[in-house]
Amino acid sequence: MPKDTSPFTPGSPVPVDLFVGRGTQIEELRRYVELAVAGRQENIFLTGDRGIGKSSFAAFVSELVSKKLNALGVHVFLGGVDSLDDMVEHVFDQILKETHRQSWFEKIEGMFGQHVQQVGLFGVSVKFTPPPSALPSLVRNFPEAIGNIVAKISDERAGLFLILDDINGLAESAEFANWYKSFVDQVATQFGPYPVAVMLIGLPEKRDSLAAAQPSLMRIFRVAHIDRLSDEEVSEFIEQAFNGAGIVVEPQALHFMVMFASGLPILMHEIGDAVFWEDEDGIIDDKDTWAGLFAAAQNVGNKYLDPTVYRALRSPRYLSILGKIAGPYGIKRSEVMAKLDIDERGVFDNLLRKLRELNVIEPDPDGPRGAYRFVNQIYPLYISMASSTQPPPA
C-alpha cells in the first residue's frame, strides 16, 4: 500500500479531530472564558511539562470557545521573546492575522494605522509592522488598546480569549510580572465590562519565577495543569489515528505502543509515526510495532536528550555501566553498585546525577532510598540499544 502522509504530528500541536482526553480541564477553561465573556477579565496560568500537550490543549479550547461562546481566540507564540516591546508586537500581529479576513475587519483596521504589510505571494498573509518607537506606548496603553478592539467588535464577537504561549523567556523578568500586575489592576479600576480571558502558558517552574518576581500575581491567576494522558486515552488516540488512515491495528500491537508511550503525548506521536512508516500492508502487527519502537527510541534519544548528555551517554565507560543497569524497571543504586567494577563505581553517581538532571530518571516514590525509575519506557529502550550497539570499551 503506497503511503503519503502520516496522521501523526510529533512536535506540532495536534489537529482538533485527533485531540484526545483533557475533559476536566476543557470544562474548567470553558467556564473561565464564559465568566470573562460575561464582562470580567479572567487570568489563567496553564502549566505542564515540556511536550505534555499545553499548546494543543490551548488550540483546542480556543476553537471550542470560538464556536460555543463566540469568543475571538488569539493564540500568540512567544518562544524566544524576552521583552515587552517584542511581546506586544507579537500580540497585535496575531490579532491582525486572526481578523483580517473577517467581513468585519474594517471596524478595527484603522487601529493598526499604516502599519499593515501584505506578505507572501498574492498578499496571502499580513504582518503588523509598527515602527519600534511606537512600541513602548503600546506596552503602556495595552489595556485600552485591547479594550478598544473588543468594544469595536462587540456585535460580532462576545469577547477575547488571548493565549500567550511559551512565556518562558518573559517569565524570568520582573518587568513582565510587574507589567502584568498593573494591566490587571488598571482593568479592574478603570474599565467597565472587559470581556477578556488571558491564558499564559509556561513550564511549572516559570510560574514559580513569576511568583517570586511579583507575589501578588499569584492571587490573580487561576491555575490549570495538564499531565500525562491515561492509557485508555493513548489507546483511543493511536487507534483513531491509524483507522482514519485506513489502517487496522492488532490488539497486541496496540498494547505495546500504549505501554511504551507511557501516557506522554509526544511519545505516542513519535511511536505512532515510526510504526506507521514500518507498516507495508495496512495491518499493524507485532513486527511493525517492534521495528517502529526501535526507530522511535532512536529518534527520541537523538531529539530529546540534551546533546551534551546524549554524547556523555555514548562514552564507552557510561555505556558499559548503562548496559548493566538498563532494564525497563528502573535502577536500584545498591544493586547496580554490586555489579560494577571499581572504576565504574567511581563514576556511577555522576552518571545518576546526569540522568536525573536530564529528566531521564526520577526517584521512585514507591521504592527504597536510592531507587530510581525511568520517566518513560522509551528511554530505557534507547539506552539498551545504545549500549548494545557500541563496541565494548578498549
Ligand X SMILES: Nc1ncnc2c1ncn2[C@@H]1O[C@H](COP(=O)(O)OP(=O)(O)OP(=O)(O)O)[C@@H](O)[C@H]1O
Residues that bind Mg ion (CB under 5 A): 54-55
What is the residue whose three cell numbers read 552518571? 351
Among 7-15, 37-45, 300-308, 364-372, the segment contacting ligand X (CB under 6 A): 7-15
3-class secondary structure per residue, 131-188: CHHHHHHHHHCHHHHHHHHHHHCCCCCCEEEEEEECCCCHHHCHHHHHHHHHHHHHHH
106-110: long-range contacts, CB 8 A cutoff, minimum separation 24? 107/152, 107/153, 107/156, 108/149, 108/152, 108/153
Site for ligand X contains 10 (CB under 6 A)? yes
Q: How far is the CB of 258 from ligand X (least distance, A)?
A: 13
Residue nearest to ligand X (CB): 53
Site string for ligand X, 131-170 (x = CB under 6 A): -----------------------------------x----
Q: How far is the CB of 171 from ligand X (least distance, A)?
A: 13
The answer to whether residue 180 forms part of the interface with ligand X (CB under 6 A) is: no
Q: Contact 172/84 with Cβ under 8 angstroms?
A: no
51 contributes a contact to ligand X by CB under 6 A:
yes
Which residue of 19, 180, 221, 374 would you call a contact of ligand X, by CB under 6 A? 19
* Contact in structure between 229 and 269 (CB atoms under 8 Å): no
Least Å from the CB of residue 77 to Mg ion: 8
Of 35, 11, 49, 393, the residue nearest 206 (C-alpha): 49
According to CB under 6 A, which one of 157, 206, 207, 269 is a site residue for ligand X? 269
What are the residues facing 73 on neighbouring strands?
161
* Cβ 75 vs Cβ 58: under 8 Å: yes
> Which residue, 10 or 143, has its beta carbon nearer to ligand X?
10
* Residue 48 makes contact with ligand X by CB under 6 A: yes
CB of 67 to ligand X, least distance (A): 18
DSSP reduced 3-state for 74? strand
When the beta carbons of 69 and 264 are compared against ligand X, the nearer one is 264
8 Å CB contact between 276 and 9:
no
Q: Which three three-digit cell numbers place residue 391? A: 563496541
Q: How far is the CB of 269 from ligand X (least distance, A)?
A: 4
Residues at the site binding ligand X, with contacts judged by CB under 6 A:
9-14, 18-22, 48, 50-56, 166, 237, 265-266, 269
